[in-house]
């Protein structure tokens, strides 16, 4: 409600939306109350009806579904910006929740004031508390609706909120700490970008890093090594979680020559660490597609042509001529016609086809 009132006061062109998650029968009536307020203010209003099931990870599932619905709604109405009502309380609660999980700097950083494109989600109230917004609405003589789930102690966020109240913790200092951590995270990212330009190289589908650089960063800048590896692995397959990266750093300190993690295969070569896609984690073949995994396929594709991982069909290619390791080529694209291999562009069997990486040509560009 505070977002709506503020936007009206500023004379902005608005379209309001209420998301009904389908979890409470009262939610429909509450949405009607908001619609009536909007009608009186001559603001178009929509209600988005979701159908969530109660159960595990409800708040996370609700958040994911809500953002997806808001994105679709904004695009349908050609709205470039969606305003969200997150406050300093939300920032403080998230900080404490993640501290309890042992989260690193990036996870402790304040949520961004702006995120996403088409639409851009904007959070204008991150420096204001819920109580200040309530006081403002009270001064204007405008009521609001409290979601009863905000008092449901089944949810971790609610329990954190209750502990904050019991300890009389002011959310603003906590939110300022989260903001400072966001600035630190951005600085670390810039440093990681500079290190990547000097220490990461792309070899076909793989990322290479000199072992001398790995050893140096293990001793002097472990956080930067963690960021470099996370960026490289996300570019290759999936972004690893914090515990995964901790295990990887442990493996690098040991004598292991190969390991798998987050869809990647790591190999300690003579002078370099090689990260490649683990063939067993590749997506299944797709029929009639010119895009598969992280590759764009150039060449004739028919409805009966499939694109998938090369795998054991590598034995039918002159792969040694490519100069790439066999393990690296297993996860590269292969084109098949009715199940028969007809091309493997990176394994020396082009036959009129090519394969190029989609998106950024290398990590940290």
Q: Give the tens place of pLDDT for each residue, 67-119.
A: 999 999 999 999 999 999 999 999 999 999 999 998 889 999 999 999 999 99
Lowest-confidence segment of 174-188, 239-253, 341-355 by average pLDDT: 239-253
pLDDT band at 24 (very low <50, low <70, confident <90, very high): confident
Judgement on whether residues 224 and 340 belong to the same structural domain of the protein: no
Residue 103, C-beta contacts closer than 8 angstroms, at least 6 positions apart: 242
The sheet carrying 286-287 orders its strands as 286-287, 305-309, 333-337, 340-343
On whether both 48 and 113 belong to a single domain, the answer is yes
Given a cut of 80, whether residue 242 has pLDDT beyond it is no
- Among 235, 262, 279, where does a domain finish? 279
Same-domain check for residues 153 and 48: yes
Q: Are residues 44 and 124 in the same domain?
A: yes
Q: What is the mean pLDDT of residues 172-193?
A: 96
288 and 219, same domain (yes or no): no
**pLDDT of 300:** 92
Give residue 82's pLDDT: 97
Residues 294, 272 share a domain: no
pLDDT of residue 319: 96
Name the CA radius of gyration of the chain, rounded. Answer: 26
Note whether residue 295 is domain-resident. yes
Instruction: Tell me the pTM.
Output: 0.83
**Domain contains 259:** yes
Of the candidate ranges 91-105, 159-173, 245-259, 274-288, the one whose mean pLDDT is the lowest? 245-259
Domain assignment of residue 350, given as a range: 283-357
Predicted local distance difference test score (pLDDT) of residue 363: 77
Which of 246 and 86 is assigned the larger pLDDT? Answer: 86
Give backbone dihedrals phi and psi of 272, rounded to 5 degrees, phi first.
Answer: -145, 155
Cα–Cα distances in angstroms (integers) from residue 59 to residues 55, 65, 302, in the given order? 9, 10, 43
Q: Are residues 299 and 340 in the same domain?
A: yes
| Range scoring the smallest mean pLDDT among 8-22, 116-130, 249-263, 332-346 | 249-263
- Picking from 58, 364, 3, the residue whose alpha carbon sits closest to that of residue 192 is 364
Is residue 94 domain-resident?
no
| Residue 101 domain flag | no
User: What CATH number is given to the structural domain containing 12?
Assistant: 3.40.50.620
Average pLDDT for 49-61 = 88
Count how many domains the chain has.
3
Report the share of the chain in percent with pLDDT over 90.
81
Q: For residues 12 and 160, what is the distance between their CA atoms, to the nearest angstrom?
A: 35
Maximal C-alpha separation, the chain? 77
Buried/exposed 259-297: b ≥16 CB within 10 Å, e otherwise: bebbbbbbbbeeebbbbbbbbebbeebbeeeeebbbbeb
Residue 177 located in a structural domain: no
In a domain, 216, yes or no: yes
| pLDDT for residue 131 | 95
> 245 preceded by cis ω (within 30°)?
no
pLDDT confidence band for 201 (50 / 70 / 90): very high
Q: Is the pLDDT of residue 269 over 80?
A: yes
Q: Which two tokens stand for residue 35?
A: 């619609």
In a shared domain, residues 316 and 258: no
Q: Chain-wide mean pLDDT for the chain? A: 93
- The rounded distance, in Å, linking the Cα atoms of 37 and 135 is 19
Judge whether 207 lies within some domain: yes
Residue 194 has pLDDT above 90, yes or no: yes
């Amino acid at each position: 409600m505070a977002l709506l009132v503020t936007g009206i006061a500023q004379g902005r062109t608005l379209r309001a939306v209420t998301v009904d998650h389908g979890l409470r029968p009262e939610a429909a009536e509450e949405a009607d109350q908001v619609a009536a307020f909007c009608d009186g203010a001559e603001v178009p209003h929509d209600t988005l009806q979701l159908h969530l099931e109660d159960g595990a990870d409800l708040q996370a599932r609700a958040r994911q579904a809500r953002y997806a619905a808001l994105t679709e709604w904004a695009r349908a109405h050609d709205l470039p910006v969606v305003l969200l009502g997150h406050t300093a309380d939300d920032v403080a609660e998230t900080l404490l929740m993640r501290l309890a999980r042992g989260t690193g700097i990036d996870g402790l950083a304040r949520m961004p004031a702006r995120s996403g494109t088409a639409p851009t989600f904007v959070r204008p109230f991150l420096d204001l508390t819920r109580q200040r917004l309530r006081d403002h609405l009270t001064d204007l003589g405008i009521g609001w609706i409290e979601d009863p789930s905000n008092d449901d102690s089944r949810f971790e966020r609610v329990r954190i909120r209750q502990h904050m109240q019991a300890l009389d913790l002011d959310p603003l200092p906590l939110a300022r700490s989260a903001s400072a951590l966001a600035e630190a995270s951005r600085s670390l990212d810039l440093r990681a970008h500079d290190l990547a330009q000097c220490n990461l190289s792309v070899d076909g589908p793989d990322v290479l890093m000199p072992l001398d650089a790995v050893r140096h960063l293990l001793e002097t800048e472990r956080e930067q090594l963690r960021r470099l590896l996370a960026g490289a692995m996300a570019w290759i397959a999936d972004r690893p979680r914090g515990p995964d990266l901790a295990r990887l750093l442990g493996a690098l300190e040991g004598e292991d020559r190969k390991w798998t993690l987050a869809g990647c295969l790591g190999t300690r070569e003579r002078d370099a660490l090689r990260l490649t896609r683990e063939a067993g984690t590749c997506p299944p073949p797709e029929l009639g597609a010119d895009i598969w995994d992280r590759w764009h396929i150039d060449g004739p594709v028919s409805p009966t042509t499939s694109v998938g991982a090369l795998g054991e069909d590598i034995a039918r290619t002159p792969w040694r001529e490519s100069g790439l390791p066999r393990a690296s080529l297993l996860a590269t694209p292969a084109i098949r016609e009715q199940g028969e291999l007809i091309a493997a562009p990176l394994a020396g069997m082009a036959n009129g086809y090519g394969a190029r990486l989609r998106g950024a040509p290398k990590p940290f560009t």
